[in-house]
Amino acid sequence: MLTIEKISEQTPDEKIAELAVPESEPRRAARALYWKGWRISSIARHLGLKRSTINSWKARDEWDKAQAIEHVEASAELRLVKLIEKEVKSGSDYKEIDLLARTIVQMARVRRYEQPGGNEVDLNPKLANRNAGPKKKPTRNDFSEEQKIQLLDAFQDSLFDYQKVWYRNGDQRTRAILKSRQIGATWYFAREALADAMATGRNQIFLSASKSQAHVFKQYIVQFAREAAGIELTGDPIVLPNGAHLYFLGTNARTAQGYHGNFYFDEFFWTQNFQELNKVASGMAIHKKWRKTYFSTPSSTTHQAYPFWTGELFNKRRAKADQVNIDVSHGRLSSGFTGEDKIWRQIVTILDAERGGCNLFDIDELRNFEYSPDQFDNLLMCNFIDDSASVFPLAELQRCMVDSWVEWDDYKPLLGLRPFGNRPVWIGYDPALNGDSAGCVVLAPPMTAGGKFRILERHQWRGQSFEDHADAIRQMTQRYNVEYIGIDTTGMGIGVLPIVRGFFPAVTALNYSPEVKTRMVLKAKNIISKGRLEFDAGWTDIAQSFMAIHKTLTPSGRHVTYVAGRSDETGHADLAWACMHALDHEPFEGTTDNHHSFMEIYS
């Protein structure tokens, strides 16, 4: 119980606020009042004790000889007791309690410092670290045995049936897989490689058409490690504590040399100079403990990888008696088969994936509405393109495919806000028809006459309104210094155009006719054949889009036009048309000195 009493007969020095005095400790209360400057008679009257009793305590406990620290401790203690026993505390009370508690701790440190053997560390414990040895840095990318088991279990539990076939054949020296798009091949092999690296310590090398595409592997690996086992993987390359290195490379023969390990060759049917690069890649896995994995969607029968797939490359320069005949039909390879050249091959179409448990697709929607028959056969049913009738054959387009992360040092796509600084860009938009997809590209024009165009961004939109498309274009105008926007006013374009004109009045409407299409195709053909267009080699959808365009006659038979098998029900090539809408801004004869105006000022 606390007794609170006001002192009515005090000198000015004795006047204080109400004081709580613990009845069970009058001796300590008397000492505290004395140290506050109270007279003995006032203390005796306040506590209801005899003056002689107070004098006796004063003499026996040597109050006058006490050090200043004892005064502070006593005051802090009394105040802290008073605050703690308050039934209702305010925010300021809690702050004062914290301050008083820290004061008492500091006083205890001073006491320890005053004892024999005390030193400055007693006052400031952080000084003990002054002479401590260097701290051992935590091991980067470390994982426990339990985490490794968690990751391996999560890997095997996440597989579809066709991916389990890949897993069972993981010890094959060479695997070559022809696959449908979007069936999780890159996703699977990223996980397979990480699991193998953790289990065996073997290096893993990821080759893609471009370095940006190779980093898709890295994103899958980092995400899988975090979600499956709470492991944070960092670095490029990623180095595990067991010595395994995970490298992410673009398909540049110069930069791909000097590594060794298991290698994964992504989209090998779309890379340039495949045979040269394959010699370098094969050297990475020349030791018998390494394995090689090739996987890709099909491109053209004229691609350098096609003889590798069919076995013709194996037969080259071999005696006729030593040549082999490899069946690469879907019927033979749907379950996987090791050919006479010791390469394990498999074809996985979108229908095979569906039968293997992948229920992520609406096959009828894709077949009847979103892809033309030839595109469905090529991209989803793993049939090669015969580009002999294409206006833009693969051989020409491969000259346009570059490793943008390496070649373009003035474009920083990861910056987000202004990835191209204040450099001008042109935008082309190809609208969606019924069941079709809309395409949009951001094109960087050349800075000099006859220079190269670069596709900085490409987008495909399905199932969105024209307001959504217009808003996406508006956001591009905020991120880039847009000089030109070309929009086809067919279909949804008629709705997108007025909205875009609201924030970009200089937008150009393109009204399709055989003459307009011929002009755009011939212009693009001229640019591509001269190697004046560049886009990231990982964007195979752009190459596929251009390859789909071929020459035909109009229904009247009087005019030549260009189509991509698109109709009200099916369509593709939207990225190619969008690109041509932007390229159309350059005069047909190209940019020359005669097209530039100048002004001279005379004083």
- φ, ψ (nearest 5 deg) of residue 331: -60, -35
Is residue 376 a part of any domain in this protein?
A: no
Q: Which of 312, 341, 371 is the last residue of a domain?
A: 371
Q: Report the distance separating Cα 444 and Cα 407, nearest Å.
A: 14
Residue 261 has pLDDT above 90, yes or no: yes
127-178 pLDDT per residue, tens: 777 766 666 677 889 889 999 999 999 999 999 999 999 999 999 999 999 9
Is residue 551 a part of any domain in this protein?
A: yes
426 and 478 belong to one structural domain? yes
363-380 pLDDT per residue, tens: 998 888 878 788 889 889
411 and 347 belong to one structural domain? no
Is residue 417 a part of any domain in this protein?
A: yes
DSSP 572: -
User: ∠ CA 202-232-256 to the nearest 5 degrees?
Assistant: 40
Q: Which of 310, 339, 371 is the last residue of a domain?
A: 371
CATH of the domain at 280: 3.40.50.300
Mean pLDDT of 385-409: 89
314 and 451 belong to one structural domain? no
Question: Tell me, what's the pLDDT at 4?
Answer: 36
536-553 pLDDT per residue, tens: 998 999 998 999 898 877
pLDDT band at 312 (very low <50, low <70, confident <90, very high): very high
Residue 458 has pLDDT above 50, yes or no: yes
Domain count, the chain: 3
Is residue 589 a part of any domain in this protein?
A: no
Question: Tell me, what's the pLDDT at 73?
Answer: 78
- Given the DSSP bridges, would you call strands 245-250 and 238-239 parallel, antiparallel or unpaired? antiparallel
Least confident of 20-24, 62-66, 507-511: 20-24
295 and 151 belong to one structural domain? yes
168 and 314 belong to one structural domain? yes
593 neighbors 449 (Cβ within 8 angstroms): yes
569-597 pLDDT per residue, tens: 334 689 999 999 999 999 876 665 555 55
235 and 280 belong to one structural domain? yes
CATH of the domain at 452: 3.30.420.240
Question: Tell me, what's the pLDDT at 7?
Answer: 38
Question: Tell me, what's the pLDDT at 228?
Answer: 92
183 and 96 belong to one structural domain? no
Neighbours of 416 (CB within 10 A): 8
Question: Tell me, what's the pLDDT at 255?
Answer: 60
Is residue 136 a part of any domain in this protein?
A: no
Question: Tell me, what's the pLDDT at 135?
Answer: 67
Q: What is the mean pLDDT of the chain?
A: 85
Residue ranges making up the domain that contains 329: 146-371
256 and 282 belong to one structural domain? yes
Give 412-421's long-range contacts (Cβ < 8 A, gap of 24+).
413/212, 413/456, 413/457, 416/479, 417/479, 418/479, 418/480, 419/456, 419/479, 419/480, 420/444, 420/456, 420/480, 420/481, 421/481
**Of 475, 301, 473, 492, whose CA–CA distance to 388 is shortest?**
301
pLDDT band at 445 (very low <50, low <70, confident <90, very high): very high
119 and 181 belong to one structural domain? no
219 and 350 belong to one structural domain? yes
Q: Which of 311, 346, 371 is the last residue of a domain?
A: 371
3-class secondary structure, 295:
strand
286 and 235 belong to one structural domain? yes
Mean pLDDT of 315-344: 92
Is residue 521 a part of any domain in this protein?
A: yes
Is residue 599 a part of any domain in this protein?
A: no
Is residue 131 a part of any domain in this protein?
A: no
354 and 464 belong to one structural domain? no
Question: Tell me, what's the pLDDT at 17?
Answer: 35
- φ, ψ (nearest 5 deg) of residue 510: -110, 115
93-139 pLDDT per residue, tens: 889 888 888 888 888 887 787 778 777 777 777 777 776 666 667 78
